[in-house]
Structure 1
Amino acid sequence: MKRTLGVLSVAAILLAVLSAAQSSDGLLQGRYRIILMNGNTVEGDVTQRPDGSYLVENANGRKGITVTVRKAEVRQVVPIEEAKGADPAARPGMSMGVTSARRRAIQDSEIEEILLGIKANVDPEAIGVKREDMMAPLPLDEASVAEMVRLAGSDKKLVTDHFVMVYTGPDKAARALLTRLEAVWRWNVRFIEMNQLPARRPEHKLEIYFFHTFDEFVAHAKTAYGTDVSGGVLGYYRPDSNRSHFFEMATYPPVARRLEQASQKGVPARDGRQLRNTVNRWVEYQNIEVIQHEAGHHIHFNIGLFPMNGLERESGIPRWLVEGTTMLFEFPPNESGAGIGTINHKRLYEFRNQTAGMRMGANEWKRFIIDDTIWFTNAYGFSYPIGWALVQYLWKEHREDYSRYMREVFGREPDFRMTETEREAEFEKFFGRVDDAWVKKFRAFVERLRFMKSRLPPEIF
């Protein structure tokens, strides 16, 4: 695929090299713009480390924001003075593959401001609709919303640029949920740009139910779909109705019982406060994880990233790719607050515990990749953390190939089918043969990930 990155002349390169400030040990130090392999840029006060990575302080003009850029992610380093001539098309931006190197409480608003700088240099013939069109408000399907109101038994509605919500609870909670959903929308638009995918604009605003109680949530599923969700479902997206469904997590019966226990007579005030705080942290965690996972599916199917039957066994897209990609947008509460591909410590914990002592060699991994039966039968245990680990590896270690793979599958119709042999050949086309050496590299990557127990949701049951 064509790239539109600018290229320095030989003279400009020599000038940049000769004028670059260096420390006594020959490493770069000073004001630089780093042009990344994916076309994004990050600039600031740069210090090159002995391992070849770069520490960038005050990244993209944000005082106090420090990021680390790995050597393998760098296409070019240009002094700020020469940067204007280095790449006319480039503008400051922070690669989503860059991780924070300084512990600091960053607000969502700050992250959004940084994300606004990301601008992929895409082949104009392959971008589909323009980014401005993806961010422009979607039209409202009045008839469909009227049906939602009837089924929910509530005429309370909230409308944002890309979503419409019918809800039965407090206005404040509904507004907070819609704010989070709009953030997930923006991150997905950024994801499309980063992977140079030909975006599709949905026909209408995406429709959301938000119920005040778990009982309302369960009753609606029974009435609208004839489905029982009382067995622990915390939220879901239905491709057939093209709607997502959530509820106030504090009303989930096991949670409600714990909150009630905290207020019972005889419970010391200190113990009650501690229990309520623990329960509230669990609710906060689940609100982020569940909402962003299901909203990820909702958005992905409506912008054409995956076919509408992507969650079905017969889909032409492997289930691990659909779920694993969605889990790139699923993150626990932490000081960064957001990020595509942020380490999900819960999934990492589940993966390590689940696969400890289990022999998953090349043959087992190949079956997981090409045969969705493995996913649906949980043949290797709980499939989600395995799918997360696989996509996390491809996203972090094989970013360009992952992008090419996504462009290959983008926009496939629901009736598209592949044999296992074809699916294996397609995977190997981008990521190589799944043999013992491949699995060894994958396992080494997962083992390098730093697990932080403090990022797990608290245990309340």
Structure 2
Amino acid sequence: MTGRFCRIAGFLAIGFVLTGSTGLEPCASAARGDDAQKKTGGEVKKNIGRKAASARRSLDEPFPKGRREKEFRKLLGEDFRVRHTDHFVVFYSADEEVVKDFIHRIEKTFDSVHRFSRRLNIKVDYTADKLPIIFCRNHDEFREIFRAIRGGEPPDEAAGLYLSGRANVSLFYDMSQNPFMREWADKARQLRDEARTEIDAGTRKAKVREAQWYTNRSKVYREEQNRSVVQHEVAHQLLYNFRVHNFESSWANPQWLVEGLATLFEVPPGKHGAGAGVINQRRLGDIRESIAEFTAEDWRRFIGAASPGRQMLSNEGYARSWALAYFLVKRKSRELSRYVELIKRRKTSRPVSAERELADFEKCFGNVDDAFAASVAEFVKRLPYRAEQE
């Protein structure tokens, strides 16, 4: 399988950015400007027609199939089955039962991101065809396909990634096949085997209870991770393709904004609602005790920070990004709309300076001073928190 992927990887390996859970990193666009200048009048007219058709498309109209599907079919081969939803084409080797929930999840995420974008009065640009997603059966396959598309190795911690630019694909694997998940399953089997041969009734019951704990914990963790990671990365893909983020220049997008907006969509639909309006209890739990210690200078450094390449943010980094994004959505939505439009107009092929990042932020939201730090801290501390149940 490695040889097959690597032989044909070239068509996707040009001009995309590794983003999502790994942050942002620039790479050279594939001679796009030169090619554009060589287009004939007929080709340019055809392009304008495509854009007009895309602009006319509405949420109720399914995205059409396109040539990207053929490219990915060639890359992945017969080992991967294909399912179409209204807005995505999903290539998968994972179990059907897992994929059914996965497909439900990505369309729900589409609805949530679309509502959010329209609520902020952001002009949504619809894609020319269905967005590609690859869902692998295990981490080994995930890593192999990442190598074929991107080259190099994916971050060890990543259960999902969005690769933007030319690739423009989300890549996942079934978390139940994670090595430590298999260890939990083995531990549960071992305990049940021991319980069957245990003579003492009390010890036997204790082993059965412990085995059930591993099983239940594994199930909850798998479901939570599969859902939250999927929703986070698909939110990245949609926010880029809707042009909420700057699609043309990855460096133009502040990392806190890219990650902060994606964390808004991690919460699975439930009795408390769905989408960006629901409090992300996991991120809130990671930040609520330390937020008051975050000074104005800390916020200035955080807002002005350049992307750390392919490094993943710490849990606190994601939580800070969520807290800032959620605060702005709830308290300064009009200013956030202006800020998003400002970022979209940036033209740069290199990291934006900390001075410019801060200046652009303050142009839209006002000074990042002690009053700003206090207002964010007070907002976060007042949010209702439900501690996760063990």
Instruction: Give your verdict on TM over 0.5.
Output: yes
Alignment gaps of 5+ in structure 2: 1-53, 196-206
Aligned equivalents of 2:89, 2:377: Cα separation in 1? 42
Q: Which amino acid aligns with 1:220?
A: I
TM-score when scaled to structure 2?
Answer: 0.74
Normalized per residue, the structure richer in helix is: 2
Q: Which amino acid aligns with 1:245?
A: L
* Alignment partner, residue 200 of structure 2: none
Q: Which amino acid aligns with 2:194?
A: G
- Contact 2:296 2:369 (8 Å CA) reproduced: yes
- Contact 2:254 2:307 (8 Å CA) reproduced: no
User: Share of identical aligned residues, percent?
Assistant: 28
- Contact 1:235 1:245 (8 Å CA) reproduced: yes
Aligned equivalents of 1:421, 1:231: Cα separation in 2? 33
Superposition RMSD in Å: 2.9
Aligned equivalents of 1:377, 1:286: Cα separation in 2? 20
Matched, 1:266 2:194: yes
Q: Which amino acid aligns with 2:235?
A: G
1:293 CA displacement: 0.5
1:143 CA displacement: 5.2
* Alignment partner, residue 307 of structure 1: 246
TM-score when scaled to structure 1?
Answer: 0.64
1:337 CA displacement: 4.9
1:376 CA displacement: 8.0
Q: Assess, with a 3 A threshold, how the Cα gap between structure 1 residues 377 and 211 changes in structure 2: closer, same or farther.
A: closer
- Aligned match for 2:235, one of 263, 281, 296: 296
1:142 CA displacement: 3.8
Residues 373-431 of structure 1: per-residue CA shift (max 9 Å, x gap): 58988999842111111111111122222233223334655649754444333222322
Larger Rg: 1
Q: Which amino acid aligns with 1:266?
A: E
* Alignment partner, residue 276 of structure 1: 215
Q: Assess, with a 3 A threshold, how the Cα gap between structure 1 residues 275 and 420 changes in structure 2: closer, same or farther.
A: closer
Q: Which amino acid aligns with 2:321?
A: G
Alignment gaps of 5+ in structure 1: 1-127
Give 3-state SS (helix, strand or coil) of 2:133's partner. strand
- Contact 1:375 1:383 (8 Å CA) reproduced: no
Q: Which structure ranks higher in relative contact order (CA pairs < 8 Å, sequence separation ≥ 6)?
A: 2
1:200 CA displacement: 0.3
Q: Which amino acid aligns with 2:327?
A: Y
Aligned equivalents of 2:228, 2:254: Cα separation in 1? 22
* Alignment partner, residue 264 of structure 2: 328
* Alignment partner, residue 225 of structure 2: 286
1:218 CA displacement: 2.0
- Aligned match for 1:162, one of 83, 87, 90: 87
* Alignment partner, residue 339 of structure 1: 275
**Number of paired residues?**
323
* Alignment partner, residue 395 of structure 1: 329
Aligned equivalents of 2:217, 2:238: Cα separation in 1? 31
Q: Assess, with a 3 A threshold, how the Cα gap between structure 1 residues 309 and 285 changes in structure 2: closer, same or farther.
A: farther
Aligned equivalents of 1:374, 1:231: Cα separation in 2? 16
Residues 66-100 of structure 1: per-residue CA shift (max 9 Å, x gap): xxxxxxxxxxxxxxxxxxxxxxxxxxxxxxxxxxx
Runs of 4+ in 1 over 6 A off after TM superposition: 374-381
Matched, 1:369 2:303: yes
Q: Assess, with a 3 A threshold, how the Cα gap between structure 1 residues 309 and 364 changes in structure 2: closer, same or farther.
A: farther
Residues 25-424 of structure 1 mapped to structure 2, 5 A cutoff: 129=55, 133-142=58-67, 144-151=69-76, 153-229=78-154, 231-240=156-165, 241-264=167-190, 265-267=193-195, 268-308=207-247, 312=250, 315-331=251-267, 334-352=270-288, 355=290, 359-372=293-306, 382-410=316-344, 412=346, 415=349, 419-424=353-358
Q: Assess, with a 3 A threshold, how the Cα gap between structure 1 residues 244 and 375 changes in structure 2: closer, same or farther.
A: closer
Give 3-state SS (helix, strand or coil) of 1:266's partner. helix
* Alignment partner, residue 108 of structure 1: none
- Contact 1:162 1:206 (8 Å CA) reproduced: yes
Aligned equivalents of 1:375, 1:387: Cα separation in 2? 17
1:435 CA displacement: 0.9
Residues 422-437 of structure 1 mapped to structure 2, 5 A cutoff: 422-437=356-371
Aligned equivalents of 2:310, 2:177: Cα separation in 1? 30
Aligned equivalents of 1:309, 1:277: Cα separation in 2? 44
Give 3-state SS (helix, strand or coil) of 2:194's partner. coil
Normalized per residue, the structure richer in strand is: 1
Aligned equivalents of 1:377, 1:246: Cα separation in 2? 18
- Aligned match for 1:444, one of 369, 374, 378: 378
